[in-house]
Amino acid sequence: MKRLEYIPLALLGALAGFIVMQMNAAPLSTHTATAAAAVTSDAGDLEPEEVPAIRSPVRVPAVTRHTDDVRTRLAVGAPGTYIDEILSSRDSSLARWPERTSNPLRVWVESAPALTSWEPTFARHARDAFSEWAATGIPVRFTFVVNPAHAEIKVTWVDRFDEQISGKTHWARDDKWWITDGSIQLALHHNDGHPLDAAAIRAIALHEVGHLLGLDHTRDETNIMTPKVRVRDLSAADRSTIRLLYSLPAGSVR
C-alpha cells in the first residue's frame, strides 16, 4: 500500500516539473508597440489633425541610430525632395515603417461597399497605389488579403466627408517613430455630392498611401502630396522623398 501511495505523488511531481519547464521556455513578454501619436491626413483643404493614438502588437526591430550620420545623409539627399517640409511638420522627426520585404505588409481593400457610384475598378486603383509606391524602391512590400481580420492596413470607402476632403489616413507610431499600423478611407463623392471619377480615385489613393508610408504635405502642387491633389501620378520629388525617408531610420534628427 505504501508503494502505491507514492505513485500519485510521483506523477504530481512530474507534472509540476513539466509546468515549470514550459514556463521557462515561453517568452516572458511580447512586445506591444506603444502608439504615441496618430495622424489624420487629407487630400482636400484641411491640414492634418491629430486623432487618438492606436495601440498595435507589432514588434519593431532594434536599429542602431547615429544622429550625426542621419543629419549628414539628410543634407546630402535633401536636394530635389521636400523632406524639409516633413521635418518641419513633424517636430524634426521622421516616421516610417520598418523594413518589410520578406514579410510584406498585409493590406485589405474593401471591395463591395453598398454605396452609390461605387465601381469595382476603384478597388483595383487602391491596390495599384500601394504597388506604385513599392515600385519606387523602398524596402516595403505589400500583400493583399481577403480577410480584414488578417490585415495590418485597411482601406475602406465612404460616400463623402463632411469636410472638403476626399481621403483620410490614420496611422500609429511607437515612441521611436516607427509606424505600426494604419487605415485609409476614400470617398466616392466630393462633399458637395459630385462623384469622383476613376482618375481622381487613383490620385487620391496615391496621396493617402503616401501619408500611410510617412510622407506629409508639400506646398509644391506638381507633387501628389500637395494638400489639394492636382496631379495624377507620382512626381520625381515624390519618388526621391520617399526613397530618402526609407534610407534613414525613424526618429528625431535633432
Q: Which domains does the chain carry?
A: 37-252 (3.40.390.10)
Separation between Cα atoms, residue 74 and residue 83, nearest integer Å: 8
- Taking every pair of Cα atoms in the chain, the longest distance, rounded to a whole number of angstroms, is 91
Radius of gyration of the chain from its Cα atoms, rounded to whole angstroms: 23
pLDDT at 214: 98
Q: What is the DSSP code (8-state) at residue 95?
A: -
Three-state DSSP class for residue 26: coil
- What tens digit of pLDDT does each residue of 105-124 get? 999 999 999 999 999 999 99
Q: Is the pLDDT of residue 204 over 80?
A: yes
- Split at pLDDT 50, 70, 90, the class of 36 is very low
Distance CA 125, CA 141 (A): 17
DSSP code, position 164: S
Residue 225 confidence (pLDDT)? 97
Query: Who has greater pLDDT, 11 or 206?
Result: 206
Out of 35-49, 62-76, 240-254, the most confident range is 240-254
| In the block, residue with C-alpha cell 500583400 | 143
Cell of 135: 515600385
For residues 155 and 171, is the Cβ–Cβ distance under 8 A? Answer: no
Beta carbons of 38 and 170 less than 8 angstroms apart: yes
- Distance from CA of residue 97 to its chain's centroid? 6
Span 161-185, pLDDT tens digits: 999 999 999 999 999 999 999 999 9
Q: Residue ranges of the alpha helices (H) in 46-92?
A: 67-77, 83-89
CA-angle at 23, arms to 22 and 26, nearest 5°: 85
Dist CA 95 CA 103 (whole Å):
19
Please report where in the chains the cell 478597388 appears, as a residue: 123
CB neighbour list of residue 240: distance below 8 Å, 6 or more residues apart:
77, 80, 81
The whole-model pTM stands at 0.78
Please name the amino acid found at residue 65. R
